[in-house]
Amino acid sequence: MKKLDKYILSKYFKTFFFCLLLLTTIVVVVDISEHTEDFVKANLSFSQITTDYYFGFIPRILAMLFPLFIFISVIFFTSKMAGRSEVIAILSSGVSFNRFMKPFLIGGLSMALLLWVGYRYIIPKANRKWADFSKTYIDINMGARRVGTYRQNIYFKSNKNEWVGIKGYDTVSRSGNNLFLQKFKNNNLEYNLRAPNFQWDTATKKWKLTNVTERYLGNLNDSVIYSPQQLLSLNFGLEDLKKDDYIKDQLTTSALNEYIENERRKGSPEINSLLVERYNRDAIPFSVIVLTVIGAVLASRKVRGGSGIHLATGVIISVLYVLFSRLSVVFATQGNFSPLLAAWTPNIIFGIIAVYLFKRASR
């Protein structure tokens, strides 16, 4: 590694970690002001808040903002180099633009690998710590609607030939309404059960159904049986109906893969959301490389206005990147857009921009 590489890489890492420290401090101060009342109501000590909440919250926020921190850092220190005519001096000494970009690529690859490992193993553990604290001390102060204890329109496959549908279910009271269970044989419906109300019976560990209507469908005739109440050991339990908005963030990548396969077997409607999370764990680290290239190419040119113009351009590109990311996720979770494309579309679009800018600058 030559002096040029060491010089640029030192600036790359120093500026990034300085931005990380500065912006993290700002985010934590804002979060403290927002949740001070919750902390007071919880009657927790400073050490408990720090270890139980912020040891999980800070890594979570850092992972979310990591690519943008990289982008702003690269633009900032490269713009300073261009403003002091260092880039012109380097290129005038016979160093090609491709060679000039080498340390930026090394830095981008290193930080992308760091973020990729973090998403697979470290960030899920931090998310679990943050989620446990939030569910215990913060969400409880927001009311039942914000907590999300009531689930609606639940459909899943309890086994290969059995489908379950529930109109509404409350995870706190462990009761629900409008349950149906359908069994198929050779793609033909052979059994249909409906119950307007049902509840978990703790003593028997079974589901207590009221006003149950069972219909057996035959080739020549059907039979209908009515029961005012039934205790059934159905092929799903409390965990299958438990609503946990944080679950996908808390699983390591290998555990998330298993969870996705399990939900796919059930025919879960949340499968697209889970797949977007899984693909994002590879796509977001790759965005570090893309944004590093764009930032370095844009800021290496000396322009009137100096760092201010470069930073303004960087903010605009950052906003566009986040906008594309959010839109693609919404289309995947609420529409028919492929989760894989949803995760990688921003990288594809900005990757094309990065290649174009790089080729243009290298001329």
Residue type, 94: G
Identify whether residues 72 and 99 lie together within a single domain. yes
Query: Contacts for 152-155 with beta carbons within 8 Å, 24 or more apart?
Result: 153/269, 154/241, 155/267, 155/269
Q: Over the Cα atoms of the chain, what is R_g?
A: 27
Answer whether residue 262 is part of any domain.
no
pLDDT attached to residue 145? 41
Identify whether residues 303 and 155 lie together within a single domain. no
Identify whether the C-beta of residue 101 lies closer than 8 Å to the C-beta of residue 91. Answer: no
Identify whether residues 110 and 223 lie together within a single domain. no
User: Can you tell me the distance from the alpha carbon of 75 to that of 297, in angstroms, rounded to the nearest whole number?
Assistant: 9
Answer whether residue 47 is part of any domain.
yes
Q: Is 353 left (phi over 0), alpha (psi -120 to 50) or beta?
A: alpha
Give the domain-ending residue among 241, 257, 280: 241
Q: Using CB atoms within 10 A of its CB, is residue 9 exposed (0-12), middle (13-18) or buried (19+)?
A: middle
pLDDT attached to residue 311? 72
Identify whether the C-beta of residue 304 lies closer than 8 Å to the C-beta of residue 310. Answer: no
Residue whose tokens read 């790759």: 286
Answer whether residue 214 is part of any domain.
yes
Identify whether the C-beta of residue 212 lies closer than 8 Å to the C-beta of residue 195. Answer: yes
Give the list of residues 6+ apart from residue 328 with CB closer than 8 angstroms, or none. Answer: 337, 341, 342, 343, 345, 346
pLDDT attached to residue 149? 67
Identify whether residues 78 and 164 lie together within a single domain. no
Identify whether residues 111 and 9 lie together within a single domain. yes
Domain range enclosing 281: 3-141+269-362
Distances in Å between the Cα of 156 and the Cα atoms of 18, 29, 104, 300, 308 are: 48, 43, 48, 54, 54
What pairs with residue 209 in β-bridges? 198, 230
Answer whether residue 253 is part of any domain.
no
Answer whether residue 128 is part of any domain.
yes
pLDDT attached to residue 44? 81
pLDDT attached to residue 141? 56
Strand order of the β-sheet with 150-159 is: 150-159, 162-170, 175-185, 188-201, 206-217, 222-232
pLDDT attached to residue 144? 40
Identify whether the C-beta of residue 76 lies closer than 8 Å to the C-beta of residue 15. Answer: yes
Number of domains, the chain: 2
User: Can you tell me the distance from the alpha carbon of 42 to that of 82, in angstroms, rounded to the nearest whole number?
Assistant: 51
Answer whether residue 252 is part of any domain.
no
How many Å separate Cα 24 from the centre of its chain?
Answer: 19
Answer whether residue 53 is part of any domain.
yes
Q: How many CB atoms lie under 10 A from the CB of residue 289?
A: 22
Per-residue pLDDT of 332-343, as tens digits, reads: 877 788 999 999
User: Can you tell me the distance from the alpha carbon of 344 to that of 309, in angstroms, rounded to the nearest whole number?
Assistant: 29
SS3 letters for 240-254? HHCCCCCHHHHCCHH
Identify whether the C-beta of residue 324 lies closer than 8 Å to the C-beta of residue 307. Answer: no
For the chain, what is the largest distance between any 2 Cα atoms, rounded to a whole number of angstroms? 92
User: Can you tell me the distance from the alpha carbon of 217 to that of 237, in angstroms, rounded to the nearest whole number?
Assistant: 27
Give the domain-ending residue among 205, 224, 241: 241
Q: How many CB atoms lie under 10 A from the CB of residue 22?
A: 11
Answer whether residue 180 is part of any domain.
yes
Beta strands 150-159; 162-170: pairing state: antiparallel
User: Can you tell me the distance from the alpha carbon of 349 to that of 323, in angstroms, rounded to the nearest whole number?
Assistant: 12
Low pLDDT (below 70) residues in the chain: 1, 139-149, 239, 242-245, 303-308
pLDDT attached to residue 340? 92
The DSSP output letter for 235 is S
Identify whether residues 167 and 307 lie together within a single domain. no
Identify whether the C-beta of residue 293 lies closer than 8 Å to the C-beta of residue 360. Answer: no
